[in-house]
Structure 1
Amino acid sequence: MKAYALFFMLVLQASFAQKEVKHVVYFETDEYSIVETERYRLLLFLQEIEGIDIEKISIYGFCDDRGSDSYNLKLSQQRADAIKEVFSNNEITESLITNVDGKGEVLLKIVKEDDVQKIRGLNRKVEIIVAPYDPPRPKVVRKNTTDKLLSKRLKVGDKIVLENLLFQTGYSYLIEDSKGKLDNIVEALQKRPDVYFSIEGHVCCTNGDRDAIDRKTNIRNLSFARAKYIYDYFVSKGIDKDRMRYVGLRRRYPLGGLPENDRRVEIRVTKILDK
């Protein structure tokens, strides 16, 4: 009986995982800027969907029943665009956002006079629909790990992607499973004191070559913050400061493919001492 109950719960969890996830952002009258309370709720929602393998995201803007059709259509589109910008600033890849549409006004239903303002407030909104992807996409696999590459013959200008270091979306710190892999890289660098290098941070999914916003500080310098995170970790493990520097390269050099390919840090060899 217990085994059957466990099986039933697993089936329910699996079916729930495949359902669409929805969120609503509300706006003030005649405004498309996001108020702080709604922005905070939206950022919490972005954290909630980090573990979802997303197939597509739809963003739909709406207005209340006041104003002309053309005005409401424009305002609803501006609200949808404002939400899309938050997604882009927080490293949600734009290729997943398949719809960003302003739908205009939501007609006022017949309600009691006392409820009119409440209904209008609920109609000034953007609806976000996140559809999960099934089956999951394959992960990128490369033949050489970072520590093996560091043991090979290197020359000035060589770039090495720090493999399997996954950053928390929107933040400059690594997920827990990646910290052990970073220690392997430290060990490899300790064996190569002749290699001087630059630590180069990158982000995914922003417009053009803009940097993303670091959710911890609310500053648009996430690629820089990620590079400094790695630098500080290396220093804490005894890597000589004189061997390295750090820089944020924003989204100047996207690799494409999965978002985590661009949510990365690279080492670029700047000098090799004669042995």
Structure 2
Amino acid sequence: MKHVIVFLIVSMNLYGQMMTSVYFQTNAFDLDNESIRKLDSLSILNKSLKFKIFGNCDSSGSDTYNMKLSEKRALTVAEYLAIKNKDNIKVVSIIGLGEQKQINDNSTEELKSKNRRVDIFIERIYKDDEKIQKKLLPDFLSADISTMKKGDTLSIQNINFEGGRHIWLPKAGHSLILLVKKMRENPLLKVELQGHICCDYDNFDGQDLDLGTYNLSFTRADAIKKYLVKYGITPERIQVKGLGHLNPVVYPEKSEADKIKNRRVEILIIDK
């Protein structure tokens, strides 16, 4: 519990926003022990924060049934948080989405289980003229592998994406070639590709307009993995994670240039 609480507080201090999800059994809206543990960690937060709570379902039931079930799940979470700490938690929305915001295609039971969830978005309340800009990470392509450590996160310069898509911009071509070269030259290197989005603050992740799923940050990172594998990098060396909008380079985005900076993939060093 201590480690979970520390992680949540650190995330909030750095970026002013965070998200967590709790999951449910089929046709159920009661909280299990893991969900209660997560919600208890949220209840100690005492900054100027706003909570948005969104219930979701898999595709098993009818549209009407799924909408009602997702609403019950969202209400269950909101009521539990209110009981734990109503003074520190300002809930601004409690919404049931039914099966509207699927993060995957429900083709297996494991994938369905990821859609049976409530997403809890927490944001610090910003002043109108307030803007944060994160310190630029070292560039993986130009950094010496010998200087990298396990757990380091690095940027990949010039690999950014079209809005709402996992298609990279034309200027990414040269960087992708260098990325393949660096992975080939360092065969012991194992990495996690971490995808990011801009703009969509009412959801953890954005909609991939090409696939229709709500896991755009994941599909961006996965597109880079597929490119690397296509050019000979073994898939076992590459993990993929979508971090949604929770780790922006610039927040809030005031221009298209700001948005492009946030539509990116970064690299976490797992082993070398």
TM-score normalised by the shorter chain: which range applies? 0.3 to 0.5
More helix by proportion, 1 or 2? Answer: 1
| TM-score normalised to structure 1 length | 0.45
TM-score by length of 2: 0.45
